[in-house]
Amino acid sequence: MDFFDRKMNLADFATEWLRDLCENSNVNVHFGVVLINSSAQGSLAPAAFWPDVADPNKAIMQTVEKCVAARSTQACRYQHSVGKTSQDRCAVALPLLIDEQIQAVMALEIELALDGSLEGFQRAAERHLLLLEAIIRREIGSNSERLTAVLNLVATALHYESFQAASTAVATELAGILECERVSIGFVDKGHAVVKALSHSAVFTEKANLVRDLSASMDEAIDQRAITVFPPIDANSVLVTHHLSELVRSAGDGAACVVPFADGDAMAGAIVLEMPSGKRFDDEARSLCEYAALLLGPLLEVKRRDDRSLFSKTRHSAQQFLQRLIGPAHTGLKLITGSFVLAIAFLSLVDGEYRVTADATLEGAVQRSIAVPLSGFVSESYARAGDTVRQGEEIFTLDSRDLRLEQLKLTSQRAQYKREHSEALAGKERAKVNILNAQLAQVDAQIALVEEQLSRTRVTAPFDSFIVSGDLSQSLGAPVERGAIVFEVAPLSDYRILLEVDERDVTTLMISQTGVLAIAGLPDYVPQIEIMRITPVATTKEGRNVFEVEASLTEDPSAALKPGMQGVGKITVGDRKLIWIWTHKIIEWIRMFVWAWWP
């Protein structure tokens, strides 16, 4: 038997190898098993038994465990009862170490008949084990070379940024590794495979006969979801290779292989490999192509998607969304989409109350400024900003000592003029009497002026009011100039509301429209308001244009209201569709933006 037949897998080889050892051994072998490393973690699994229907006994399993733990040959002698007699038997386990790792274990149950037979059998078994080692080393080397080749192809694909350059380089390198005449890579587009890259060719015509034959061969393998080879490796294969055979015959007496690859659950494309005349595909080349397609296919598909235009990406995303929406499964997406459509329909059909919202400030209906009546010094201050004063109540007084001295001086001077006037009358000095009458009138006027000034040193509230601004309590004795505004007062019973309306909304407002006012300091108090005046001039505030709209309260104000309070006013404009209420601002902004940039 040719143990090195490449078409035999490792398990079949182990079975034939174990049978040959057990049947041709110089000792009586009752049972044999071969365990082979089946994973990267080093776990051993049974690959062959002899005889086929036998089961390992407890001694065999214990010996295998000791062999694996000690990493050396182990033997265990024991007595085995056969009817009324007993036999001297031995369980032997031999490890196969390759690169310091146990790749296989052979365990045999033999019958010991002569002294020294165990040592002789062990030497013969170790020599026989060399054949199994050669096969396993060949298998490990084949897998390692295959992995290295695939990783080199992946590195080549990652080296290039663009999809076209990466796919062409991969096809060219794969053709060199397998000595192919041509390698083609295609991707599914609109239900059919389209050739995107040819080895050793950066540019090709999609309408060429060769490209059409390649696409048909790819579709053939993709539809069957299987690797197609012509001429077939397995004579009993039932795969359809009609288009692939036509491709091979048109190129000559060669061979071709088509390896489809997937991206997720969907087939993404295929790789076509063409051998020159006289060469054929074997299992090793087929496996390399399969591994390469498994890793390279999704990688190139990602690059192809990234290289698409924005329009193509958007169209593809829309198609996928529609397929999920219309097709089976994806119940959550259907529920969300249906709910969204129903919400849009509801908002488009139902009317709602549209209100213009604006920042509001509360002010007194009549706000007066209190100025210094005459130059002087502050004597007393009885109130400051935030206080409430009644009509006639003093707010502050000025120092009147200079005026009183002036009043005393003028009073004394008048008394002197009066005495001289009496003497002139007694002496019948008519001219002097007339002069003194004029001087008395002048002094009387000056005294009246001083008295008036004295009365103005006491500044009182013009009406029941709230002091909006001003504080002289820290300026006692300080000089003040006539006309300087030191206080501002507003009435407590009459207010106005100033609304800062955005320029986009002011056109919808009219006089007499009503609304509500929410005060930040009184959230539970929401009075009704009515527009009284719309200022036709805009002002800039915080980077936007606003119009000042004046409104008044339509009900008696709360005692808790104070001038200067701020809040939000909402003016009722009318009924509009709910979808318009929520979207009109952004739509108007988009329209203005497009109009501004449209040539």
pLDDT in tens, 199-238: 887 676 655 788 888 899 999 999 988 889 888 877 777 8
Spatial CA neighbour of 96 closest among 148, 37, 48: 37
Q: What is the pLDDT of residue 117?
A: 62
Band (pLDDT 50/70/90 cuts) for residue 514 is very high
Query: Above pLDDT 90, what percent of the chain?
Result: 12
Mean pLDDT score, 535-553 = 88
Give per-residue pLDDT as tens, 279-322: 888 777 777 787 778 778 888 888 888 887 888 888 878 888 88
The two beta strands, 368-371 and 566-577, are: unpaired
224: tokens are 């069957």
Section 417-429 average pLDDT: 86
pLDDT in tens, 332-351: 888 898 899 999 999 889 99
- As given in the structure block, the two tokens for residue 210 are 């060769």
Residue type, 388: T
- Mean pLDDT value of segment 443-448: 89
Nearest to 63 by CA among 103, 32, 88: 32
Structure tokens at 471: 């504080």
More confident position, 161 or 186: 186
Is pLDDT at 242 greater than 70 in this prediction?
yes
pLDDT attached to residue 326: 84
Q: Which residues contact 394 (CB under 8 A, 6 or more apart)?
A: 380, 382, 458, 459, 460
pLDDT at 2: 41
How far out from the chain centre does Cα 432 lie? Answer: 105
pTM over 0.85: no
- The pLDDT tens digits for 355-401 are 999 999 988 777 778 888 888 888 888 888 878 888 888 888 988 88
Whole-number average pLDDT of the chain: 83
Cβ(23)–Cβ(60) below 8 Å: no
Q: Which of 2-6, 196-200, 481-485 has the lowest mean pLDDT?
A: 2-6
Phi-psi region at 215: left, alpha or beta (left = phi > 0; alpha = psi -120 to 50): alpha
Q: What sign has the CA pseudo-torsion 298, 304, 310, 311? A: negative
How many C-beta atoms surround the C-beta of residue 158 within 10 A?
11
User: Which helix (H) or strand (E) is 106 found in, with range?
Assistant: strand 101-111
Q: What is the pLDDT of residue 1?
A: 41
Q: What is the pLDDT of residue 5?
A: 42
Query: Is-contact 578 345, C-beta < 8 A?
Result: no
- Give residue 7's pLDDT: 41
DSSP state of 52: T
Q: Are 272 and 186 in contact (CB under 8 A)?
A: yes
**What's the rounded Cα separation, in Å, for the pair 497 and 493?**
13
In 3-state terms, what secondary structure has residue 220? helix
Domains detected in the chain: 10-145 (3.30.450.40), 160-307 (3.30.450.40), 368-488 (2.40.50.100), 494-597 (2.40.30.170)
Q: Look at residue 143 in the predicted model and tell me its pLDDT.
A: 55
Q: In the prediction, which pLDDT does 539 show?
A: 87
At residue 364's C-alpha, the angle toward residues 362 and 365, to 5°, is: 115
Q: What pLDDT was estimated at residue 6?
A: 38
Strands 182-189 and 192-198: antiparallel
Q: Can you say whether residue 160 is alpha, beta or left, with left for phi > 0 and alpha for psi between -120 and 50 degrees?
A: beta
pLDDT at residue number 355 = 93
Measuring CA to CA, how many Å separate 240 from each of 209, 232, 365?
A: 21, 10, 94
Mean pLDDT of 68-83: 84
In the chain, % of residues over pLDDT 70: 93
pLDDT-derived band at 8, boundaries 50, 70, 90: low
